[in-house]
Chains A and B, each alone.
Chain A
């Protein structure tokens, strides 16, 4: 099982370094030898509210990856102000828990997050930010997320 994880992460890493998608770069200093912790820099897309801003995403993998989703949070001083991103860096995004599929990858998750930023119309924190941040677990995967369908609004 963990063998699958290591092999797959290596393949993903090679792909991400050799052909990075627009606005996504791997921070090569961050990865440890076992590849269980990645840091990826994402840049807000052009002509969006986050144009030119750069953020750091942290990925944590369990030995059950890719059958289990990675733990993904924003870290560092600049955490995007977004209706689905809490000030502690936790992200309310269904593919990170319920809708995870092993066919997804680090690259796919990064692109989803960039596109989530791009579709934002107003820079605000989630309405329950203060309560959530003071009561939540350190691991966002332990939160019982309630997902809204954003495509309607």
Chain B
């Protein structure tokens, strides 16, 4: 701690405009080097210190731990190291937030809802569909769908809206059939 306070004294006197001689510069350099992160070689930000006593920026150390998730060792002395084996350092000027809490922000998990499935699994998997049809426009009505999903749909209890939709589509299909017979007869 003594060296830390002397470093800050040197700093303030230099800032005040006094002639900085090389000696105090050297002192300052070595004092600052005492608080350099062992990875980025800069003054440690969001500093943490390992149980083996080595200083790092938490973002730097975290990146290293992510790089070799199976072999978490201290970069300096190869002692075992992990998120729980470091101590955050709180200087006077710093916010008292644990650096491990704030950086780096972890990506949030992505959870997707399962797709609706009938109670029975189909032989061909979930979404196997075959459609046959004749391509010319008016005859397109004749296209038929053989979907294995179709059966599963029917076994599922239907909501009111689905029933309405099914009813409507059946009515529409009948109308099309009737109009087509009219065309044939005419």
Q: Which bracket fits the contact residues of B?
A: 10 to 19
- B40 CB contacts on chain A under 8 angstroms: 4, 7-8, 66
* Partner-contacting stretch, out of B60-68, B115-123, B125-133, B158-166: B60-68
Known interface pairs A12-B41, A66-B39, A103-B39. Does A4 touch B60 (Cβ–Cβ under 8 Å)? Answer: yes
Look across to chain A and name the residue whose beta carbon is closest to the beta carbon of B61: A102
Q: B72: shortest Cβ distance to chain A, in Å? A: 12
Contact with B along A62-106 (1 / 0, CB 8 A): 001011100000000000000000000000000000000111100
User: Given the known A-B contacts A102-B60, A103-B76, are A67 and B67 also in contact in the complex, defined by CB atoms under 8 Å?
Assistant: yes
Structural contact, A102 and B75, CB atoms closer than 8 A: yes
Give CA–CA (A104, B73) in the complex, Å.
14
Main secondary structure on chain B at its contact with chain A? loop
Residue of chain B at shortest CB distance from A101: B75
Which of chain B's residues have a CB closer than 8 A to the CB of A68?
Answer: 67
Count of inter-chain pairs, beta carbons less than 8 A: 35
Residue from B39, B42, B78 in contact with A102 in the complex, judged by beta carbons closer than 8 Å: B39
Residues of B within 8 A of A64 (CB): 67
Q: Mark B26-65 against chain A: 1 for CB-CB distance below 8 A, else 0.
A: 0000000000001111100000000000100000100110
Q: Let me know if A103 and B67 touch, CB within 8 A.
A: no
Interface residues of A in 4-33 (CB under 8 A from B): 4, 7-8, 11-12
How far apart sit A102 and B67, CA to CA, in the bound complex (Å)? 11
- Inter-subunit contact B38/A7 (CB<8 Å): no
**When the two chains form their complex, are residues A7 and B67 in contact, meaning their CB atoms are under 8 A apart?**
no
A103 to B38, CA, bound (A): 5
Q: List 29 A-B contacts (CB under 8 A).
A: A1-B63, A4-B40, A4-B60, A7-B40, A7-B41, A8-B40, A8-B42, A11-B41, A11-B42, A12-B41, A64-B67, A66-B39, A66-B40, A67-B63, A67-B64, A67-B67, A68-B67, A101-B73, A101-B76, A101-B78, A102-B38, A102-B39, A102-B60, A102-B64, A102-B75, A103-B39, A103-B54, A103-B76, A104-B75
By a beta-carbon cutoff of 8 Å, the part of chain A in contact with chain B is: 1, 4, 7-8, 11-12, 64, 66-68, 101-104
In the A-B complex, list the 4 residue pairs whose CB atoms are closest, starting with the nearest: A103-B75, A101-B75, A102-B39, A103-B76
